[in-house]
Amino acid sequence: ILQKAKEWILALQIEKRYTKNEIIAMYLNIYDFGNNADGVRSASKIYLNKAPDSLLIEDAAMLVGMLKNSSLYNPRRRPELVLERRNVVFQQMFRNEMISKNQLDSLTQLPLNIDYSPESHREGLATYFRAYLQEFMNQWLRDNTKDDGSKYNLYRDGLRIYTTIDSRLQQIAEQSMDDHMKNLQSEFFAQNKEPDSLNPTPPFRDLREGQVDTLIKVSAMRSERWRKMRLSGSSDDEIWESFQIPTPMKVFSWDGEIDTIMKPVDSIRYYKFFLRSSLMSMEPQTGHVKAWVGGFDFKHFQYDQVKQGRRQIGSTFKPFLYATAIDQLKLSPCNTLPDALYCIEPMKHGNIDAWCPKNSSDKYGQTRNLKNALANSINTISARLMDQVGPKPVVTLMKKMGIKSYLPEVPSIALGTPDISLYELVGAYSTFVNKGIFIEPIFITRIEDKNGVPLFEVIPKTTDVLSEEVAYVTLNLMEGVTQYGSGGRLRHAGLEENNYIYKNIITGYPYVFENSIAGKTGTTQNQSDGWFMGMVPNLVTGVWVGGEDRSVHFEDIAFGQGATMALPIWAQYMKNAYLQEELNISSEDFPVPEVVSIPLDCASLRFDISDENKDLKKLGF
């Protein structure tokens, strides 16, 4: 009786606040139609394989008929009852003069248009995110029970899960990745498959054929095929022998799945040819993850490069070092240091031997201010800063910014040798935009039961890490990256006319952004990983591109650097996001703190397109 009274009071309150059409719309959007079809949009897709605005009158009547009892009136199990119920809806429409007698007679003769299309986690939008969400929910279900002690059922209890993903940004992110990766992959194939290719062991480099064979066998032993055969009782020798037998299979290609006959062992090498990629986008003030792309095809590449993948981060490490130096030494972006070979002596900062890093260009001689040094990823100056502050404070800072991966306290981390996930890196970079406050990334805001009662609500976890001034000064340093440094191609134009890379590889160039963008490129040894971290005042986005194995990479840095492999995905993502004004992506300057005592106005900082042309010409382009 008490429950009925509560429902009566709630119904009165709802009627006061909403019109009947609004109430019906809300009800249709949350009703459980069965078979994991929550809401009319999902039901339309699962039972009829249509969008709601494509439904015919007989389709809509069927769904309305199911509202009485979706378990009893289920098109898969009891289509004859569903047909009867649908015709009852038509009779009600006739009674209320919504259709004529002739229409009633015609409509009741129509069969059901069932086209059962269950939604798969392997298809559709945000597949990698949905897989991670399912993992999270499975753990939540193990840890939480109903009031009577029984367990919740994810598929039968009508739980409502509210995530932070913005479907519009997610769609843009996935399309931007597909566009560039298809383009980049074409070039990678060309460099590894042409008869005159200088690579004797494609797609692997730096490996002998025997090492390649070992790598392929290890990959085979980690495969789902191997696991299933082991469970069925086959020996390792029997399984390996089966990998040599041509087998019908569907394989991924950028032009769609291919039906082929291939030895499973050859299919492993085939898939190694494909470069992998990931993107994560987060609102720094709230921690809300807006886009999560763990790869470009979940069916064929199920490893999530956002959360599961950990790779060396290259020069995207350097802002943490610079922030530590600014915080501890009160350095300014305008402070200058010599760009000359520099060694940290043996037995210092945890080193056994001397550490003498070289610049990637192997050029030295200038005196550079810190803004110019970060913009151009000058390793010698990073070595000097690391020697002054020591690795321990940098590691401490990064841990406060949410980095949970192992960080050795040695000077060489200044060049980005630690393996870190994109998920961690985006969360950490967001600290700079969020005025020095780290907020742990949030991907789910709350869980409700079928009656709308909250079962779980996220409480943001924040940590004060840097002063607002230090965070802003570090952002100012990173703005130099996109103004005249390794991210300068976000702003300039004209190089596509006579340069092969800009014309064919930098997808979508020219971009010609004019708003404030802080960013950092990253390229690891041998071009195994390419990174780009880009920030505007209300969105932080990271992109990674690389091979599944570190030995799968471009030979030439002009193709394999972060500015070529990763930056174009970010550029297209942001360019298309700005076209949708309703997304409210900021194009304003970063907010300036009330007090900034550190000098920021450095002279003689200019990007000259001819400089990049000269560098590319020396590389043979």
Q: 291 and 255, same structural domain?
A: no
Q: 420 and 552, same structural domain?
A: yes
Q: Is residue 180 part of a domain?
A: no
Which two structure tokens, joined as six digits, stand for 26? 């809300």
pLDDT for position 198? 75
Look up the CATH number of the domain holding residue 430.
3.40.710.10
- φ, ψ of residue 345 to 5 degrees: the values are -65, 160
Q: Is residue 192 part of a domain?
A: no
Residue-wise pLDDT for 541-592, tens only, equals 999 999 999 999 999 999 999 999 999 999 999 999 999 999 999 999 999 9
Residue-wise pLDDT for 596-611, tens only, equals 999 898 764 444 444 5
Look up the CATH number of the domain holding residue 64.
1.10.3810.10
| Residue finishing a domain among 107, 125, 140 | 107
pLDDT for position 620? 32
| Residue finishing a domain among 238, 272, 306 | 272
| Residue finishing a domain among 249, 272, 295 | 272
Q: 318 and 243, same structural domain?
A: no
Q: How many CA atoms lie within 13 A of 243 on its CB side?
A: 25
Q: What is the mean pLDDT of the segment spanning 3-20?
A: 79
CA–CA dist 192, 471 (Å, integer) = 43
Q: Is residue 240 part of a domain?
A: yes
pLDDT for position 31? 85
For the chain, the domain total comes to 3
Q: 82 and 38, same structural domain?
A: yes
Q: Is residue 164 part of a domain?
A: no
pLDDT for position 266? 96
Q: 285 and 258, same structural domain?
A: no
Q: 316 and 216, same structural domain?
A: no
Q: 291 and 265, same structural domain?
A: no
Q: Which runs of E-coded beta strand occur in 434-548?
A: 437-439, 444-448, 454-457, 462-464, 518-523, 529-536, 539-546
Average pLDDT, the chain: 92
Q: Is residue 168 part of a domain?
A: no
Q: Is the pLDDT assigned to residue 4 strictly greater than 80?
A: no
Which two structure tokens, joined as six digits, stand for 212? 């390649």
CA–CA dist 236, 251 (Å, integer) = 24
Phi-psi region of 620 (alpha: psi -120 to 50; beta: other; left: phi over 0): left
Q: Is residue 425 part of a domain?
A: yes
Residue-wise pLDDT for 442-476, tens only, equals 999 999 998 889 999 999 999 999 999 999 999 99
Q: 245 and 217, same structural domain?
A: yes
Domain that holds residue 504: 276-618
- φ, ψ of residue 216 to 5 degrees: the values are -65, -45
Q: 459 and 377, same structural domain?
A: yes
User: Could you tell me the pTM of the whole model?
Assistant: 0.82
Q: Is the pLDDT assigned to residue 11 strictly greater than 90?
A: no
C-alpha pair distances (Å), 241 with each of 267, 269, 480, 560: 15, 16, 56, 37
Q: 375 and 290, same structural domain?
A: yes
pLDDT-above-70 percentage for the chain: 95
Q: 219 and 101, same structural domain?
A: no
Q: 311 and 266, same structural domain?
A: no
C-alpha pair distances (Å), 300 with each of 112, 231, 295, 297: 35, 22, 10, 6
Residue-wise pLDDT for 35-51, tens only, equals 878 788 889 989 999 88
C-alpha pair distances (Å), 481 with each of 8, 39, 504, 545: 61, 46, 23, 19
pLDDT for position 2? 65
pLDDT for position 179? 97
Q: Is residue 194 part of a domain?
A: no
Q: Is residue 171 part of a domain?
A: no
Q: Is the pLDDT assigned to residue 615 strictly greater than 80?
A: no
